[in-house]
Amino acid sequence: MIRSKLMKTVLATAIGLGALAASAQEKVTVQLKWVAQSQFAGYYVAAAKGYYKEAGLDVTIRPGGPDISPVQALVGKQADIAVNWMPDALAAREAGSGLVNVAQIFNKSGLMLTCKKSSGVTGPKDLKGKTLGVWFGGNEYPFMSYMAKLGLDTTKDVKVLKQGFNVDPLLQNQAACISTMIYNEYWQVIDAGVKESDLITFFYEEQGVASLEDGLYVLEANLKDPAFVARMGKFVKATLKGWNEAVKNPAEAAKIVVAADKSGSANLKVQTRQMENIAKLIGNANSPKMGYLEPAAYERTVKVLMTGATGSSPVIKKDPGKAAYTHAVWEAAQK
Same domain, 68 and 93: yes
pTM for the full predicted model: 0.87
Q: Which domain holds residue 137?
A: 111-207
Residue 11 falls inside a structural domain? no
- Could you give the residue ranges of the DSSP H alpha helices within 25-157? 41-48, 51-54, 70-75, 86-94, 141-150
Structural domain tally of the chain?
Answer: 2
In sequence order, which residues have a C-beta less than 8 Å from that of residue 47 and are 6 or more positions away?
Answer: 59, 61, 242, 260
- Among 172, 207, 242, give the residue marking a domain's end: 207
Do both 98 and 125 map to the same domain?
A: no
1 occurs within a structural domain: no
Q: What is the CATH number of the domain that holds 131?
A: 3.40.190.10
Domain stop point among 207, 232, 261 = 207
Q: Are residues 48 and 78 both part of a single domain?
A: yes
Judgement on whether residues 301 and 216 belong to the same structural domain of the protein: yes
Distances (CA, A) of 214 to 54, 96, 103, 172: 25, 21, 9, 30
Provide the pLDDT for residue 20: 42
CA distances from 324 to 85, 87, 142, 291 (A): 13, 12, 19, 16
**Predicted confidence (pLDDT) per residue in 27-60, tens digit:** 999 999 999 999 999 999 999 999 999 999 999 9
122 and 258 share one domain: no
DSSP string of 39-71? GGHHHHHHHHTTHHHHTTEEEEEE--BTTB-HH
pLDDT per residue as tens digits for the range 126-144: 999 999 999 987 788 889 8
Of 123-127, 164-168, 324-328, minimum mean pLDDT range = 164-168
